[in-house]
Structure 1
Amino acid sequence: MRQLTIVIPALNAAASLPETFAALEPAIACGLVSHWVLADGGSSDQTLHFARSRGFDIVRSLPGRGVQLAAGAARAIEGMDEDDWLLFLHADTRLEAGWARAVKAFMTAHAGADRAGYFRFALDDDSPAARRLERFVAARCAILRLPYGDQGLLIRAGFYRALGGYGRMRLFEDVDLVRRIGSRRLVPVSARAITSAQRFREEGYMRRSAANLVLLARYFLGADPETLARAYQARRRRRSDLASAASHTEKDSAP
């Protein structure tokens, strides 16, 4: 069995990273996962403390998911065999129980091939809105073969190298790489990647999904990814400011 290296980009992910890592521990214990890399974008919380305690190989990077993924991958593939595998995960995404069996089967079925795998999208929310979004993502993947980074990416090291790896982009680095992989070389993995729904709950499922689709449409129409990243970050700041203002209002009105 070929070895598997996990690469996780993180920025102030202390709240979610322990659960993400806990899902990996059985695969580490059985020897499937041989190396785990954290690409940190400048965390100021306990992310690095936790990562050190769990034996992560830590890479420091400028912030930006594409920049961090590229830096983490560069560290991970040092000395890797062409037919070993990389698995990229977000820090707020955990793989469901039994994922290692599905990944082993995928690696065996596609040994030496130019193939990449992605997991089924799921959210840690039991609401009808979460189920609707999961169905939408399943349809997007089935029709367009367009998984996002929160579905993970399992790819042979040699294939990743040949593609040129992740672009150092702050937004849509996942879409950029998936488009270079090509729909015929993308294969679903029979396990779920369960992502935190916190941002959807905070912003609203419909509002967040619509805003993301607008950004994606602009990207496909040729907009500069850096311009889109600035728009995305401005949206996040506005949401954070509104949440902070609401919190202060609640405190001021408390008896």
Structure 2
Amino acid sequence: MEKIRPLARAFYLGTVRYKKALKLQHNLVNWNKVQPEVASPTLLLLQHNPVYTIGYRDKQYTDEEQKLLESLGADFVKTDRGGLITFHGPGQLVVYPVFSQLQIEIGVRKYVWLLEEVIINLCKKYNIEGIRSPHTGVWVGNDKICAMGINAQKKTYSHGLALNCNTDMLWFSRIVPCGILDKGVTSLSLQTGRDVTVEEVMPLFLKEMSSVFEWDILPLQHCELDNNNIDDETLFQLVTNKKKNETYMGVKS
């Protein structure tokens, strides 16, 4: 019997503040919890305004250190993913796959391995040797090119990965990325010696995601509206094609 491939939808949201995207993820997770038979795997592709984020295991940053990072012009957000401090900003392809484990059964270790495989294959397109290490993510030598941190609560995956395309590396110099000493960061642009944009990388990423995960992914929908001013309900409805009388934040009205 031929295996039925999951059908996923993909959206490019442009540049979005971290808390706005986090709220959207929470709403999609709730939708998967309340209506798992209806909710479809969703890939949120975007870039963030400059932001430093810390995972739930990171307890080392004081209020003074937080204010120092914010004084650089970045947001500072404590979030519900795994991993330690990292930076997100323009020039970085951030991907948040949100899907129910009731629909697609993938264990956490296998899921992270598959995400790493997607990026390793993508790097090969640029003649870059991406490798795994004892630390999560994808590396080029001792430099991390793609950070990963996921959440698997409520039987739904959220959060995901951040691939450095043409990111300003100066932002990383203010922190110890992912809490890993004696390691660096790099980008596709640094490795290739030319400007590699997020827009260039997105179709390559989706192709590899479809191949590695064995998903069928619908054509990327571009929604580069002013997401930072759009209200949370409207943004949720945009991504789910739901109307107000059908659902609100993943909960039937």
TM-score range, shorter chain: under 0.3
Higher helix proportion, which one?
A: 1
- Quick one: higher RCO (CA 8 Å, sep 6+), 1 or 2? 2
Instruction: Return the structure number with greater strand share.
Output: 2
Structure-1-length-normalised TM-score:
0.26
- TM-score normalised by structure 2 residue count: 0.26
